[in-house]
Amino acid sequence: MIIKNVKVFTEEKKFQDGEIAIADGVFVQEGKTSDAPDCEIDGEGCYAIPGLIDLHFHGCKGYDFCDGTKEAIEEIAKYEASIGVTAICPATMTLPVDELAGILAVAASYKKKAGQENPLGADLIGVNMEGPFISVEKKGAQDEHNIISCDEEVCRKFLDASEGLVKFVGIAPERNENALEFISRMKDKVNISLAHTNADYDTAKAAFDAGAVHAVHLYNAMPAFTHRAPGVVGAVSDSPHVNAELICDGIHIHPSVVRAAFKMMGGDRMILISDSMRATGMPDGRYTLGGLDVDVVGNYAALSSNGALAGSATNLMDCMRTAVKTMGIPLETAVACASANPAKALGVYDMYGSITPGKKGDVVLLDKDLNLKMVIKDGIVIG
């Protein structure tokens, strides 16, 4: 396959006029395809970007990852690929330990046959465990009845059940006096993130110094960033090895705060996520998240019980557009934060996240207004 007349997004985070060659499902150097390529596409001057990677979302099209069925994962993967998200790392909710282990086992089983049974769906490349080791004070839309302190034995149970799929485990370090020991013992087995935490600056900074490397949806479900109490946000800023998720749906974070985060921490550490729930891609109405009722109107998803934000109803491609078109983030930066940065955080940059020879042939074409024109996965046009 040859895709001609496109503005190719490079590893240097720049757009360069050129063409893209794909053979046997992977990107190859120009001229390395056969003399008569099986497919030639005129990109009509579109932006050509890597397939996006959402490393924190819950569901879409009426399904949730925590439904715990292969059907749910399959339908989620199909939808995500159709809108240009070609690799996914869904997030769990705070549920009973055995239920979570079962969900992870289903995901591991799905992944073994996904290439044959769902080849045009987004690749399942990880799981992001948002719960259950979180705080009651910042539980958000999580069910506090299932919250527990971080526990090494339970964490190992999750890792074993997922057969290596779990890439992030979130904790609230202030909940457990042994949190730093937990981090130091588990950091070489899985990425430790701070999630739904009420930690102050010193506690959060100590967790990052101990080896935590990730912050779940920065600004949301954590203490406010103020001039005398900078909290988790300040600790992230002072920890150069830590990546931070941002929900740029226009609901969760004010555009000025998004711009401030990029200025404070730099684009290399920012990861755009959707945090989407099962209502994404569906009509307004009442849905569930982690067993709790959620009312959705437009892009706004809130718990029916108390109005607290409950994930988003926006996919990652739309979040990326919002970051560029209404928040003032340069397109080149936003694309990297939705492709290369999550790939690096997940440890899969060798195969995903850039249009580079040898990597999976996942590419998305966007017109000058960032409208989706084509999705190509593994060298096959799927939409």
Q: Report pLDDT for 35.
A: 54
Tens digit of each residue's pLDDT (9 = 90 or more) over 321-378: 999 999 999 999 999 999 999 999 999 999 999 999 999 999 999 999 999 999 999 9
Domains of the chain: 1-49+353-383 (2.30.40.10), 52-352 (3.20.20.140)
- What residue type is 77 in one-letter code? A
**Whole-prediction pTM:** 0.96
Q: Which two tokens stand for residue 327?
A: 């928040």
Is 143 within 8 Å of 132 (Cβ atoms)?
no
Consecutive 10-residue runs of the chain (383 residues): their mean pLDDT?
97 97 93 66 97 98 97 97 98 97 97 84 97 95 94 98 98 94 97 98 98 98 97 98 97 97 97 96 93 91 90 95 98 98 98 98 98 97 89
The rounded Cα 124 to chain-centroid distance in angstroms is 11
Q: How many CB atoms lie within 10 A of CB 94?
A: 27
Do the Cβ atoms of 301 and 279 come closer than 8 Å?
A: yes
* Category of 164 on φ-ψ map: left (φ > 0), alpha (ψ -120 to 50) or beta: left
Which residue(s) pair with 246 in the sheet? Answer: 272
Is 275 annotated as catalytic?
A: yes
Catalytic residue among 249, 275, 362, 378: 275
pLDDT score of 290:
85
